[in-house]
């Protein structure tokens, strides 16, 4: 492929691409994101290719491996276009039937369709499924139609037209004004207006400036940036190039976690292809603008998601943050002005340029515009990535899109904002999602993790969990973070172990206050949030742990015991067989007993006891009833009378 | 790992010291750990002091200064897996292998690590062994899976 030397040539090339593509040709798209790989989507892909070959359909059927479709709960997913037939949880052995029935005979295979859990109705089309129907996917939506390893797919959906528009007809100032007008705020956590950040760099003195993609997505339970970078890397590169043009930068970096090998691979391929086409590199689209992008792999440190720490890591040193008396957009990487934005933020830029700020601001709330991708995980029926307009109530995300809590359990809390965020209780589910709305409620937007917790989740343990995470990830540079969190973790761990004492909660509050005021970077300053928000909304759970040595959610190991109800046990022996610690005294037709000395509280017996008996109980805050005497253990079954 | 291979990696990055972390990542991924001799070679070729290399090798989680076992067990303890019972799975792995996260057993069979989110939350709790994902884990299932490795 020769270089594309002008915006007109780009359009001509696009037209020729589209004319070669028949929109009515059958195309099988398969989700090949990391999450689906874990569910064997590679094997499915192999068998699709083999089957197309075997049934002699090579000329009539196109096969495309796309990035993440978002509905990870039901992966791997196949969408057959142009009819938009959607099949879920495909196994390699389903493939021959799909090819022979659906592709050849145009027959729908009922068992592979989505079944609406409420109406029991089978749904054929992706756009009719509640999970997709209730979203607004302007950024993430293209993932389903693009093969990330093929730049032509991105060009076919209008890719790089925003870059062409900027380079051929807009001054850097005009671009800046558009982004400012759109009020695009950073999607990585802080919510700082991207336009202001860019302006600061643009006006800062110096000839060398940098633009950086923060793909060091470290929040546990959040993977939207990975899926975007894996599934549509060109949208991020295009946004980055536009940013570079605006601030006058000629060099960009993508800092991506090495734990995301597919993202690293796809973004490298994307850069190579874009350079070949002349969409990156020297004299882009004949405009005279030069811009190169380099990929750096992060070696695993949560704090490197922080801007100054990330830049230090890019310089080849240990990623510790520095005080921000002067912001990094003025003095950043190698001491030069550097704009750092998150993956999703960059991916929004081409959309704003193409459609205008007015289009963008029609989505969202007063202060938060556009959409946000959330990773909806935890105790939720439809685990996956969802993109909704800002201002969508939490309730709609959890129930309309997420399908509510599985197993008939009761909702307890939603945790947003990653380890620095907070937990919101049921009373707050009407809250619209937005940067300021969530902050006001005591949580935060963060990068978009949304973890759902049900009645079995202990909120004290959640606070302890996040504190453990942050203590582990603290870089150790400042005392309030390094020492304060260690002490908080110690106290919280004691509380979950039943060793809490009067005054612990007050001491935790003091430590939290100190960290908030005195820590060096955002990681330390926000570290007490999980504790403070759980205390605010779930104080009774703290009190139960400290005062009654009881875990109301029956989750803290040291505070619970497993007990077999002699009235219900039928002596089936399942628990005794499965117990990994041989802690169950069994015997044929005997009532089983848990040996409390041996029990490691792994909960296996509780899980395997047949639901029709439900004999195993968890108890907390009360003594375990004494085991029944040996002579009473024989189960006397009633004989069936004729 | 031989000197020539280390030199090749360093030359791939044009002996640029800002690529120090990338060089170490490549050595780590090929060799599974960072031997002292390799670090000395990197220090010499990139002209960076050994203290800085040590700082990096101990700061970032990806690096190991001790040899690793034949099988790398990664237990996901991300939030989604945590609320679904990852700690019970971790307890089971620890009990069966006799090692804590970050350790390798004496006969170099297993190395155990905890990771914060593997990004397949729909399958949680997740355990990854040698790159293969095992989803929807529970203590009993964990024991069954570990039996398959020797």
A582 touches chain B (CB under 8 A): no
Same domain? For A188 and A285 the reply is yes
Query: If pLDDT is split at 50, 70 and 90, which confidence band does A115 have?
Result: very high
Residue A112 sits in a domain whose CATH number is 3.40.30.10
Average pLDDT, chain A: 93
Residue A476 sits in a domain whose CATH number is 1.20.1440.230
Rounded Cα gap, residues A629 and A524, in angstroms: 55
How many domains does chain A contain in total? 5
Closest of A569, A365, A94, A168 to residue A102, by C-alpha: A94
Quote the minimal CA–CA distance from A33 to chain B in Å: 10
Q: Residue for token digits 């304060």?
A: A484
Same domain? For A186 and A261 the reply is yes
B residues 102-121 lying closer than 8 A (beta carbon) to A: 115-121
Closest in A227, A297, A475 to B25, CB measured: A297
Quote the minimal CA–CA distance from B2 to chain A in Å: 23
In tens, the pLDDT along B133-147 reads 899 998 888 988 999
Best of A35, A37, A38, A584 to mutate (most B CBs within 10 Å, chain B): A38
Q: What is the mean pLDDT of residues A467-482?
A: 90
* Contact between chains at A220 and B138 (C-beta distance less than 8 A): no
In tens, the pLDDT along A282-303 reads 999 999 999 999 999 999 888 8
Best of B25, B121, B124 to mutate (most A CBs within 10 Å, chain A): B121
Best of A299, A310, A470 to mutate (most B CBs within 10 Å, chain B): A299
The CA angle A60-A66-A71, to the nearest 5 degrees, is 120
- Six-digit token pair at A261? 């090998």
Residue A333 sits in a domain whose CATH number is 3.40.50.11540
Q: Is residue A143 part of a domain?
A: no
Q: Is residue A142 part of a domain?
A: no
Residues in chain A closer than 8 A to B133 (CB atoms): 37-38
Q: List all residues 6 or more positions away from B6 whose beta carbon is below 8 Å from its beta carbon.
A: B27, B38, B41, B42, B45
Same domain? For A497 and A471 the reply is yes
In tens, the pLDDT along B98-131 reads 999 989 999 899 999 998 888 888 888 999 998 8
Q: Is residue A16 part of a domain?
A: no
Burial class (CB within 10 angstroms; exposed 0-12, middle 13-18, buried 19+) of A522: middle
**DSSP characters for A572-584?**
--HHHHH-TT--E
Query: Pairing mode, if any, of strands A338-342 and A210-215?
Result: parallel
Q: List all residues 6 or more positions away from A60 whose beta carbon is below 8 Å from its beta carbon.
A: A25, A26
Same domain? For A105 and A157 the reply is no
Q: Is residue B15 part of a domain?
A: yes
Please report, rounded to a whole number, the percentage of residues in chain A having pLDDT higher than 90: 79
Give SS3 for A422: strand
Q: Are B89 and B146 in contact (CB under 8 A)?
A: no
Q: Is residue A138 part of a domain?
A: no
Same domain? For A253 and A309 the reply is yes
Residues in chain B closer than 8 A to A475 (CB atoms): 59
Q: Is residue B102 part of a domain?
A: yes
In tens, the pLDDT along A349-377 reads 999 999 999 999 999 999 999 999 999 99
User: What is the model's pLDDT at position A226?
Assistant: 93
For the cut 70, the answer to whether the pLDDT of residue A640 exceeds it is no
Closest in A72, A457, A580 to B83, CB measured: A457
Rounded Cα gap, residues B98 and B73, in angstroms: 13
User: What is the model's pLDDT at position A119?
Assistant: 86
| Long-range pairs for B64-67: beta carbons < 8 A, 24 or more residues apart | B64/B28, B64/B32, B64/B33, B64/B34, B65/B33, B65/B34, B66/B33, B66/B104, B67/B32, B67/B33, B67/B104, B67/B108
For the cut 70, the answer to whether the pLDDT of residue A642 exceeds it is no
Encode A541-556: b = buried (16+ Cβ within 10 Å), e = exposed.
bbebbbeebbbbbbbb
A residues 453-482 lying closer than 8 A (beta carbon) to B: 453, 457, 462, 465-466, 469, 475
Residue A620 sits in a domain whose CATH number is 3.30.70.20
Query: Pairing mode, if any, of strands A449-454 and A371-378?
Result: parallel
Q: List all residues 6 or more positions away from A83 whose beta carbon is below 8 Å from its beta carbon.
A: none
Rounded Cα gap, residues B108 and A167, in angstroms: 57
Q: CA nearest A255 in B: which residue?
A: B22
Q: CA nearest B129 in A: which residue?
A: A38
Q: Are A176 and A193 in contact (CB under 8 A)?
A: no
Quote the minimal CA–CA distance from B107 to chain A in Å: 23
Q: CA nearest A418 in B: which residue?
A: B79
A391: phi > 0 → left, psi -120 to 50 → alpha, else beta; which?
left
Q: Is residue A639 part of a domain?
A: no
A40 touches chain B (CB under 8 A): no
A residues 71-110 lying closer than 8 A (beta carbon) to B: 72-73, 75
A223 touches chain B (CB under 8 A): yes
B61 touches chain A (CB under 8 A): yes
Closest in B55, B92, B138 to A318, CB measured: B55
Residue B79 sits in a domain whose CATH number is 3.40.30.10
The alpha carbon dihedral of A266, A267, A273, A279 has a sign of positive
Q: Which of A490, A524, A547 is the last residue of a domain?
A: A547
Quote the minimal CA–CA distance from B106 to chain A in Å: 23
Q: Which of B12, B39, B59 is the last residue of a domain?
A: B59
- Enclosing domain of residue B95: 71-146
Same domain? For A426 and A477 the reply is no
Encode A175-198: b = buried (16+ Cβ within 10 Å), e = exposed.
bbbbbbbbbbbbbbbbbbbbbebb
Q: Is residue B107 part of a domain?
A: yes
Give SS3 for A590: strand
For the cut 60, the answer to whether the pLDDT of residue A556 exceeds it is yes
Q: CA nearest B91 in A: which residue?
A: A602
Q: Is residue B94 part of a domain?
A: yes
Q: Is residue B65 part of a domain?
A: no
For the cut 70, the answer to whether the pLDDT of residue A641 exceeds it is no
Of all helices (H) and strands (E), which one includes residue A415? Answer: strand A411-416
User: What is the model's pLDDT at position A639?
Assistant: 60
A413 touches chain B (CB under 8 A): no
Quote the minimal CA–CA distance from A101 to chain B in Å: 29
Same domain? For A196 and A324 the reply is yes
Q: Give bridge partners of residue A114 from the DSSP assignment.
A: A123
Q: Which of A483, A515, A547 is the last residue of a domain?
A: A547
* Contact between chains at B117 and A314 (C-beta distance less than 8 A): no
Closest in B48, B91, B116 to A469, CB measured: B116
Rounded Cα gap, residues A476 and A480, in angstroms: 9
How far apart, in Å, are the Cα atoms of A297 and each of A56, A107, A251, A269, B72?
A: 42, 46, 17, 15, 21
Same domain? For A467 and A499 the reply is yes
In tens, the pLDDT along B17-53 reads 999 999 999 999 999 899 999 999 999 999 999 999 9
Best of B79, B95, B124 to mutate (most A CBs within 10 Å, chain A): B79
For chain A, give the number of residues: 642
A598 touches chain B (CB under 8 A): no
How far apart, in Å, are the Cα atoms of B26 and each of A157, B30, B63?
A: 36, 6, 10
B131 touches chain A (CB under 8 A): no
Same domain? For B110 and B131 the reply is yes
Rounded Cα gap, residues A46 and A73, in angstroms: 22
* Contact between chains at A378 and B83 (C-beta distance less than 8 A): yes
* Contact between chains at B121 and A300 (C-beta distance less than 8 A): no
Rounded Cα gap, residues B118 and A249, in angstroms: 34
User: What is the model's pLDDT at position A631?
Assistant: 85
Q: Is residue A384 part of a domain?
A: yes
Same domain? For A517 and A572 the reply is no
User: What is the model's pLDDT at position B83?
Assistant: 87
Rounded Cα gap, residues A379 and A458, in angstroms: 13
In tens, the pLDDT along A139-167 reads 999 999 899 999 999 999 999 999 999 99
Q: Is residue A3 part of a domain?
A: no
Query: If pLDDT is split at 50, 70 and 90, which confidence band does A522 have?
Result: confident
Is 0.80 surpassed by the pTM of this model? Answer: yes
Q: List all residues 6 or more positions away from A460 whose beta carbon is below 8 Å from its beta carbon.
A: A492, A495, A496, A534, A538, A541, A542, A545, A551, A556
The three state secondary structure string of A210-247 is: EEEEEECCCCCCCCHHHHHHHHCHHHHHHHHHHHHHHH
Q: Are A187 and A448 in contact (CB under 8 A)?
A: yes
Q: Is residue B64 part of a domain?
A: no
**DSSP characters for B100-130?**
-TT-B-TTS-EEEEEES--S-GGG-S-EEET
Q: Which of A326, A361, A396 is the last residue of a domain?
A: A361
User: What is the model's pLDDT at position A37?
Assistant: 85
Quote the minimal CA–CA distance from A279 to chain B in Å: 24
Count of beta carbons in the 10 Å neighbourhood of residue B130 = 10
For the cut 60, the answer to whether the pLDDT of residue A67 exceeds it is yes
Q: Are A348 and A139 in contact (CB under 8 A)?
A: yes
How many domains does chain B contain in total? 2
| A531 φ, ψ (degrees, to nearest 5) | -65, -50
Same domain? For A611 and A590 the reply is yes
Q: Is residue B93 part of a domain?
A: yes
- Enclosing domain of residue A591: 559-632
User: Which residue intervals of A39-81 are DSSP H helices?
Assistant: 41-54
Residues in chain B closer than 8 A to A379 (CB atoms): 83-84
* Contact between chains at B22 and A73 (C-beta distance less than 8 A): no
Closest of A279, A284, A280 to residue A294, by C-alpha: A280
For the cut 90, the answer to whether the pLDDT of residue A447 exceeds it is no
* Contact between chains at B79 and A226 (C-beta distance less than 8 A): no
Q: Are A469 and A303 in contact (CB under 8 A)?
A: no
* Contact between chains at A220 and B91 (C-beta distance less than 8 A): no
More confident residue, A396 or A2: A396
Quote the minimal CA–CA distance from B86 to chain A in Å: 11
Same domain? For A182 and A254 the reply is yes
Rounded Cα gap, residues A492 and A499, in angstroms: 9
B91 touches chain A (CB under 8 A): yes
Burial class (CB within 10 angstroms; exposed 0-12, middle 13-18, buried 19+) of A127: exposed
In tens, the pLDDT along A241-281 reads 999 999 999 999 999 998 899 999 999 999 999 999 999 99
Closest in A220, A226, A600 to B116, CB measured: A220
Closest of A183, A267, A451 to residue B86, by C-alpha: A451
Q: Is residue B21 part of a domain?
A: yes
* Contact between chains at B83 and A453 (C-beta distance less than 8 A): yes
In tens, the pLDDT along A179-207 reads 999 999 999 888 999 999 999 999 999 99
Same domain? For A186 and A278 the reply is yes
Rounded Cα gap, residues B68 and B54, in angstroms: 18
Residues in chain A closer than 8 A to B48 (CB atoms): 316
Residues in chain B closer than 8 A to A453 (CB atoms): 83
Q: Are A524 and A544 in contact (CB under 8 A)?
A: no
B127-129 β-sheet, strand order = B110-115, B71-76, B127-129, B132-134
* Contact between chains at B120 and A72 (C-beta distance less than 8 A): yes
* Contact between chains at A35 and B95 (C-beta distance less than 8 A): no
User: What is the model's pLDDT at position A580?
Assistant: 84
User: What is the model's pLDDT at position A1?
Assistant: 65
Rounded Cα gap, residues A157 and A514, in angstroms: 51
Same domain? For B91 and B43 the reply is no
Same domain? For B51 and B105 the reply is no
In tens, the pLDDT along A568-625 reads 999 899 999 988 888 999 888 899 999 999 998 988 899 899 999 999 999 999 999 9
For chain B, give the number of residues: 150
Same domain? For B50 and B14 the reply is yes
* Contact between chains at A299 and B61 (C-beta distance less than 8 A): yes
Q: Give bridge partners of residue A364 from the DSSP assignment.
A: A369
In tens, the pLDDT along B47-68 reads 999 999 999 999 998 999 999 9
Q: Is residue A8 part of a domain?
A: no
């Amino acid at each position: 492929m020769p270089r594309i030397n002008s915006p007109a040539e780009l359009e001509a090339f696009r037209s020729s691409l589209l004319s070669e593509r028949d929109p009515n040709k059958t195309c099988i798209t398969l989700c090949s994101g990391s999450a689906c790989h874990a569910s064997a989507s590679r094997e499915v892909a192999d068998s699709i290719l083999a089957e197309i070959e075997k049934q002699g359909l090579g000329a009539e059927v196109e096969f495309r491996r796309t990035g993440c479709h978002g509905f990870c709960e039901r992966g791997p997913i196949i969408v057959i276009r142009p009819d938009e037939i959607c099949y879920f949880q495909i196994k390699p052995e389903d493939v021959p039937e799909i090819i022979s029935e659906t592709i050849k005979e145009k027959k729908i295979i009922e068992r592979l369709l989505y079944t609406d859990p409420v109406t029991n109705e089978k749904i054929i089309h992706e756009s009719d499924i509640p999970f997709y129907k209730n979203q607004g996917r302007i950024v993430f939506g293209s993932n389903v139609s693009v093969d990330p390893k093929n730049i032509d797919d991105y060009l076919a959906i209008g890719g790089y037209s925003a870059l062409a528009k900027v380079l051929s007809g807009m001054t850097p100032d005009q671009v800046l004004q558009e982004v400012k007008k759109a009020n695009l705020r950073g999607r990585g956590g802080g919510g700082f207006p991207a336009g202001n950040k860019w302006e600061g760099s643009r006006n800062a003195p110096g000839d060398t400036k940098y633009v950086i993609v923060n793909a060091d997505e470290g929040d546990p339970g959040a993977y939207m940036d990975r899926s975007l970078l894996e599934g549509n890397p060109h949208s991020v590169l295009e946004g980055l190039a536009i940013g570079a043009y605006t601030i006058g930068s000629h060099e960009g970096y993508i800092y991506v976690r090495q734990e995301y090998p597919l993202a690293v691979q796809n973004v490298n391929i994307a850069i190579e292809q874009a350079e070949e086409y002349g969409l990156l590199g020297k004299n882009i689209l004949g405009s005279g603008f030069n811009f190169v992008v380099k990929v750096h792999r992060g070696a695993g440190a949560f704090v490197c998601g922080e801007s100054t720490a990330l830049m230090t890591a890019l310089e080849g040193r240990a990623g510790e943050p520095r005080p921000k008396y002067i912001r990094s957009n003025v003095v950043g990487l190698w001491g030069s002005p550097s704009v750092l934005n998150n993956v999703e933020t960059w991916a929004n830029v081409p959309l704003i340029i193409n459609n205008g700020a007015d289009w963008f601001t029609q989505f969202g709330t007063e202060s938060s515009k556009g959409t946000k991708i959330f990773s909806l995980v935890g105790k939720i029926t439809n685990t996956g990535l969802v993109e909704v307009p800002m201002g969508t109530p939490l309730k709609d995300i959890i129930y309309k899109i997420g399908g509510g809590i599985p197993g008939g359990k009761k909702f307890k809390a939603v945790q947003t904002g990653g380890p620095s965020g907070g937990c919101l209780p049921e009373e707050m589910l009407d809250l619209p999602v937005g940067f300021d709305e969530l902050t006001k409620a005591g949580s935060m937007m963060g990068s978009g993790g949304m973890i759902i917790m049900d009645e079995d989740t202990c909120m004290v343990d959640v606070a302890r969990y996040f504190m453990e995470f942050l203590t582990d990830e603290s870089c150790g540079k400042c005392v309030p973070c390094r020492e304060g969190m260690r002490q908080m973790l110690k106290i919280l761990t004691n509380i979950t172990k039943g060793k809490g004492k009067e005054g612990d909660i007050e001491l935790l509050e003091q430590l939290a206050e100190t960290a908030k005021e005195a820590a060096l970077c955002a990681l330390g300053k926000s570290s007490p949030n999980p504790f403070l928000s759980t205390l605010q909304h779930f104080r009774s759970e703290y009190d139960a742990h400290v005062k009654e040595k009881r875990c109301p959610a029956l989750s803290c190991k040291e505070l619970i015991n497993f007990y077999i109800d002699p009235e219900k046990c039928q002596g089936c022996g399942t628990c005794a067989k499965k117990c990994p610690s041989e802690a169950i005294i069994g015997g044929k037709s005997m009532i089983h007993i848990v040996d409390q000395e041996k029990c490691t509280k792994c909960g296996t017996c509780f899980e395997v006891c047949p639901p029709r008996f439900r004999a195993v109980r968890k108890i907390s805050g009360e003594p375990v009833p004494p085991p029944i005497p040996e002579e009473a253990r024989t189960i006397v079954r009633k004989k069936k009378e004729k | 790992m031989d000197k020539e291979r280390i030199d090749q990696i360093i030359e791939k990055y044009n002996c640029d010291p800002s690529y120090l972390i990338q060089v170490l990542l490549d050595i780590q991924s090929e060799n599974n750990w960072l031997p002292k001799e390799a670090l000395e070679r990197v220090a010499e070729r990139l002209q960076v002091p050994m203290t800085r290399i040590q700082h990096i090798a101990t700061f970032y989680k990806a690096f190991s200064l001790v040899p690793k076992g034949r099988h790398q067990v990664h237990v996901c303890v991300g939030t989604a897996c945590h609320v679904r019972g990852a700690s019970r799975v971790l307890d089971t792995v620890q009990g069966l292998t006799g090692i804590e996260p970050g350790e390798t057993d004496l006969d170099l069979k297993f190395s155990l690590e905890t990771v914060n989110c593997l990004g397949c939350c729909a399958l949680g709790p997740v355990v990854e062994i040698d790159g293969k994902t095992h989803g929807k884990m529970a203590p009993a299932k964990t024991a069954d899976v570990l039996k398959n490795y020797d």
